Amino acid sequence: MRVHVADHPLIAHKLTLLRDETTDSPTFRRLADELVTLLAYEATRDIRTTECEVTTPVATTHGTALATPKPLVVPILRAGLGMLEGMVRLMPTVEVGFLGMVRNEETLEAHTYANRLPDDLDRRQCYVIDPMLATGGTLVDAIRYLVDLGADDITAIVLIAAPEGIARMEETLGDLDIPITLVTGAIDEKLDENGFIVPGLGDAGDRLYGVV
């Protein structure tokens, strides 16, 4: 698995504002949206393209278009929805699927409760988006599920990651024979005894949408 930390001053600045406990939900949503666009720019360097022709007001020239089948963006509900608009803004022609996953706070394991994905992902590049990589259970399960459907190139985009989550992904996804990439804005210090990232930014879902 390839891990890429997007080391950019604007990403660091926006992450700092996200971490601040006084940042309200509307500002948190805006910052998350801006951050995912910056991260997606890094994450899509290897997106599949094809040559095409385009006619300008002056002449015909060669251009670049997204290859077919088009990439699939998969937000993990519910917090991943806060990153979706930034991805679609960057790639307006992509398709979107949804996975609803929730972590059991006692076992720290992820369980799927909703699925809106194509039945066949043969030869598809997939971009999984979730604000945080903590224990790694959610992303591991999501990636394996997409591989079972035929995806052959998967990139996970997270705002922050814990070392324990990265280690779990490397250990449990090592048997897959497809490219797996993790793109993150920062690797934090550790997980606490409750499985929360330290220093982290709190519960991303609650900070995006309020406590439910």
What is the pLDDT of the chain when averaged over all its residues?
89
- For residues 211 and 18, which has the higher predicted lDDT (pLDDT)? 18
Is residue 211 a part of any domain in this protein? Answer: no
Q: Longest C-alpha distance within the chain, in Å?
A: 64
CB 156 within 8 A of CB 43: no
Lowest mean pLDDT among 115-124, 128-137, 180-189: 115-124
150 is in an annotated binding site: no
Number of domains in the chain: 1
133 is in an annotated binding site: yes
Q: Provide the domain limits for residue 107.
A: 2-49+63-198
Gap between the Cα atoms of 142 and 140, Å rounded: 5
1 is in an annotated binding site: no
Quote the pLDDT of residue 171. 94
Give the CA-trace dihedral at 192, 196, 201, 202, to 10 degrees.
-120
**pLDDT band with cut points at 50, 70 and 90 for residue 61:** very high
75 is in an annotated binding site: no
Is the predicted pLDDT of residue 113 greater than 60, yes or no? yes
Q: What does the buried/exposed string (b/e) look like for 23-48 if buried means 16 or more CB atoms within 10 Å of the residue's CB?
A: beeeebbebbbbbbbbbbebbbeebe
The closest alpha carbon to 74, from 90, 94, 93, 92, belongs to 94
15 is in an annotated binding site: no
pLDDT in tens, 75-103: 998 778 888 888 988 888 889 988 877 66
- For residues 83 and 115, which has the higher predicted lDDT (pLDDT)? 83
- Whether the bond between 199 and the residue before it is cis, its omega within 30 degrees of 0, is yes
137 is in an annotated binding site: yes
67 is in an annotated binding site: no
Quote the pLDDT of residue 81. 83
Report the chain's C-alpha Rg in angstroms: 17
> Which CATH number goes with the domain that contains 125?
3.40.50.2020
Angle of helix 137-148 versus helix 163-172 axis, rounded to 10:
30
Is residue 171 a part of any domain in this protein? Answer: yes
Is residue 55 a part of any domain in this protein? Answer: no
**pLDDT band with cut points at 50, 70 and 90 for residue 72:** very high
103 is in an annotated binding site: yes
Is the predicted pLDDT of residue 210 greater than 80, yes or no? no
141 is in an annotated binding site: no
The closest alpha carbon to 99, from 69, 79, 125, belongs to 79
136 is in an annotated binding site: yes
202 is in an annotated binding site: yes
Over residues 20-30, the mean pLDDT reads 92
Quote the pLDDT of residue 100. 79
pTM of the model: 0.90
Percent of the chain with pLDDT over 90: 64
78 is in an annotated binding site: yes
138 is in an annotated binding site: yes
For 120, counting Cβ atoms within 10 Å of its Cβ (0-12 exposed, 13-18 middle, 19+ buried), the class is exposed
